[in-house]
Amino acid sequence: MSVPLEPTDQAIARELNANGRTSFTDLAERVGLSVSAVHQRVRRLEQRGVIKGYTARLDGEQIGLPLTALISLTPNDPAAPDDYPQRLEHIREIESCYSVAGDESYVLLVRVPSPAGLEDLLRRIRESAKVSTRTTVVLSTPFEGRPAAL
Amino acid sequence: MSVPLEPTDQAIARELNANGRTSFTDLAERVGLSVSAVHQRVRRLEQRGVIKGYTARLDGEQIGLPLTALISLTPNDPAAPDDYPQRLEHIREIESCYSVAGDESYVLLVRVPSPAGLEDLLRRIRESAKVSTRTTVVLSTPFEGRPAAL
DNA sequence: CTTGAAATCACATGGGA
DNA sequence: TCCCATGTGATTTCAAG
């Protein structure tokens, strides 16, 4: 299950993780290979799923989603089949969904425009997944989405 | 604090959030502007901090960081000045740091190679920030880093 | 915002260690 | 298999209106 990444591929992955728009030309210089060699490696990393995608990180405040929260889920019926992620997938306010070890079963990271938006979101989560929720409101985000510690 | 984003800028931000390597040419087609107009807008969004950066999303399993955890922090000395984020910034395993409302003060999202790596990380967090920790291990990640609900 | 032109880049192909 | 060199068309970027 997953060969440890070769040093060159690791360097490429690290660079693209830190700057997702680095050109192949720059990458080639940094890892000491020709542009075409790097090009091939990046495509392979994408195919293998080492690179899952590219995204611009946006400032929640400025895009109208200033309220972030962590929501922990507990199933209402512990005997029900565990298809919670599927039941929640359609809710676009949910950015991430983690299955966790602990008192609760899942933790969601969500972004909403306002307290009213959060209230409505919680209602939809409870209805869609038949869970009870415990919400931790994020007051501020000192940092987020930093480069991986490769 | 933060003028609501103009529709065209919002469309650009949404597209780059969903695909961080979309070319200016593609962006221009999608939003119905010339390439250089889009170019200027993207630069402005970057300057304003609406776009905070670009990153490749990597598969933790394949890059040697298969273990994810959420760590909640409680200050040892509640009277101490609150400079925890600064004290933790140097620890590269910490991907995100949220100041939260609730029993605890902060929640960290971390990635490590192994349980031993987690143990060592917890020790460093406690020492650096003078906090006690409560750790929630992530068992699996049904989804993560989905595009913002713009 | 647009046009337009120069510099740079992406990417496919073919060939060599 | 992995790498490199080269060519062509696409893209980025800047200056000017």
Q: Which residues contact A85 (CB under 8 A, 6 or more apart)?
A: A97, A99, A106, B142, B143
Q: Check CB contact under 8 Å for B95 and A50.
A: no
Distance (Å) from the C-alpha of residue A51 to the closest C-alpha of chain B? 5
pTM, 2 dp: 0.97
Exposed (0-12), middle (13-18) or buried (19+): which is B90, by Cβ within 10 Å? Answer: exposed
- DSSP state at residue A49: T
Q: Check CB contact under 8 Å for A149 and B65.
A: yes
Quick one: which residue's CA is nearest to D2's C1'?
A37
Does residue B106 contact residue A138 with C-beta atoms inside 8 Å? Answer: no
Which residues of chain A between 24 and 63 are close to nucleic strand C, CB under 7 A?
Answer: 24-26, 35-36, 39
Q: Is A47 on the interface with B (CB under 8 A)?
A: no
Of A16, A54, A111, the CB nearest to B148: A111
- How do the pLDDT tens digits run along chain A, 150 residues long? 778 899 999 999 999 999 999 999 999 999 999 999 999 999 999 999 999 999 999 999 999 999 999 999 999 999 999 999 999 999 999 999 999 999 999 999 999 999 999 999 999 999 999 999 999 999 999 999 999 999
Q: Is A150 on the interface with B (CB under 8 A)?
A: yes
Q: What is the pLDDT of residue A3?
A: 81
Distance between first and last Cα of chain A: 19
Torsion of CA A51, B16, B141, A77, to 10 degrees: -160
Give nucleotides in strand C with any atom < 7 A to a protein C-beta.
1-4, 8-14
Q: What is the pLDDT of residue B1?
A: 72
Distance (Å) from the C-alpha of residue A5 to the closest C-alpha of chain B? 6
Q: Are strands A67-75 and A51-58 parallel, antiparallel or unpaired?
A: unpaired
Radius of gyration of chain B (CA): 20
Averaged pLDDT for residues B65-84: 97
**DSSP secondary structure of B69-112:** EEEEEEESSTTS---HHHHHTT-TTEEEEEEESSSSSEEEEEEE
CA atoms within 13 A on the CB side of B115: 1
Which residues of chain B between 85 and 124 are close to nucleic strand C, CB under 7 A?
Answer: none
